[in-house]
Amino acid sequence: MEDLKSQIIKHNFSFKKSLGQNFLTDTNLLDSIVNLAGVDENTTVLEIGLGAGALTKALAKKAKKVYGYEIDRSLKPVLDENLSGLDNIEITYLDIMKEKLDLLEKKVGDDYFVVANLPYYITTPILMNFIEKAKKVKSLTIMVQEEVAKRLVSKENTEDYGAITVSIGSVANAKIIKRVPKEMFTPRPKVDSAVVRIDMDREKFGSFNKEVLRDTIRCAFNNRRKTLSNNLMNYFKFSREVADGILQKAGIEKEKRGETLSVEKFIELSKVIEEVKG
């Protein structure tokens, strides 16, 4: 593959910071991400944000098929050149957030892995969309800013623990599999990144009402500094008595704050709330 900088000049492409365009070129790094994602010849992959296609190429060499979404059509000449000769790639030039998930999953057909160096400005909405709504996604291996990575994998009673940690932890298992220094990107971003692998495990806590859990999480982290009892009163408009009764039934001390509850406890609490709300 021709040097990225000369290609960019040749195709008259200019990086758009607003689209989170920080590209990777190191083939060893890219191959190791593909390996750590567990991609093999039976895997169908969805890549979000192809950039100049370096990760796409590493994926296509190993996977059965790669479906890619790229918002910036001006990358087409670069991608056409870099991915020529690989016949298992299908690219859609579209904002991934504008694609209907059910249509995307119909097109992809099989169960699939998401593998992506995500644009930082939209990491959380993309991630939550797939975690909460996608039916056929088996795992997501994503490069994100290191600070976001820490939030995705954190444990209760830490500063990094928050709504997104609990949402992911309720249906999946997440771990950091690689740290990637900012020097690896062109252009170089301000902060380091990390690769997080999230394996879906939808039944890990049995069945529960996802809507009520979502509300419970919002309620608990609405105002992190407040006790759960106060947040329950504010968010659900329960009286003090009802709020404290719910906490007692869920086996949670009423002075506790949301960030002290394990994911399992959050699910228990959401079940009691559902019961009380009827």
Applying CB under 6 A, the residues found at the interface with ligand SAM are 19-24, 48-51, 54-55, 69-72, 95-97, 117, 119, 122
State which residue, 15 or 236, has the beta carbon closest to ligand SAM.
15
* Amino acid code (one letter) for 90: E
CB 22 → ligand SAM: shortest distance, Å?
Answer: 5
CB 87 → ligand SAM: shortest distance, Å?
Answer: 20
CB 36, CB 195: distance < 8 Å: yes
Which residue's Cβ has the minimum distance to ligand SAM? 49
Distance separating alpha carbons of residues 111 and 89, to the nearest angstrom:
16
CB 135 → ligand SAM: shortest distance, Å?
Answer: 20
Angle formed at CA 17 by CA 67 and CA 1, multiple of 5 degrees? 50
CB 226, CB 211: distance < 8 Å: no
Entry field: residues in the chain: 278
CB 159 → ligand SAM: shortest distance, Å?
Answer: 26
The three-class DSSP label of residue 218 is: helix
Angle formed at CA 258 by CA 148 and CA 235, multiple of 5 degrees? 105
Distance separating alpha carbons of residues 31 and 28, to the nearest angstrom:
5
State which residue, 33 or 273, has the beta carbon closest to ligand SAM.
33
State which residue, 51 or 162, has the beta carbon closest to ligand SAM.
51
State which residue, 26 or 40, has the beta carbon closest to ligand SAM.
26
State which residue, 20 or 162, has the beta carbon closest to ligand SAM.
20
Phi, psi of 180 (to 5 degrees): -130, 110
CB 127 → ligand SAM: shortest distance, Å?
Answer: 12
Whether a cis peptide bond, with omega within 30° of 0, leads into 187 is yes
